[in-house]
Amino acid sequence: MKRTQDFLDLMMEYESGMLSDIETIEMFSDLIKSGASWSLQGHYGRAANAFIEDGWIDKEGNILKHLKDYDN
Has residue 72 got a pLDDT over 70?
no
Has residue 1 got a pLDDT over 60?
no
Q: Could you tell me which residues come within 8 angstroms of residue 51 by beta carbon, excluding any fewer than 6 positions away?
A: 25, 28, 29, 32, 57
Higher local confidence (pLDDT), 3 or 27: 27
Residue 2: pLDDT band with limits 50, 70, 90: low
Q: Which one-letter DSSP state was computed for residue 65?
A: S
**pLDDT tens digits, 13-50:** 999 999 999 999 999 999 999 999 999 999 999 999 99
Q: Which of 18, 24, 11 is nearest to 70 (CA)?
A: 24
Burial 3-17 (b: 16+ CB within 10 A, else e): eeeebeebbeebeee
* 46 touches 52 (CB < 8 A): no
Has residue 62 got a pLDDT over 60?
yes
Domain residue limits, the chain: 4-64
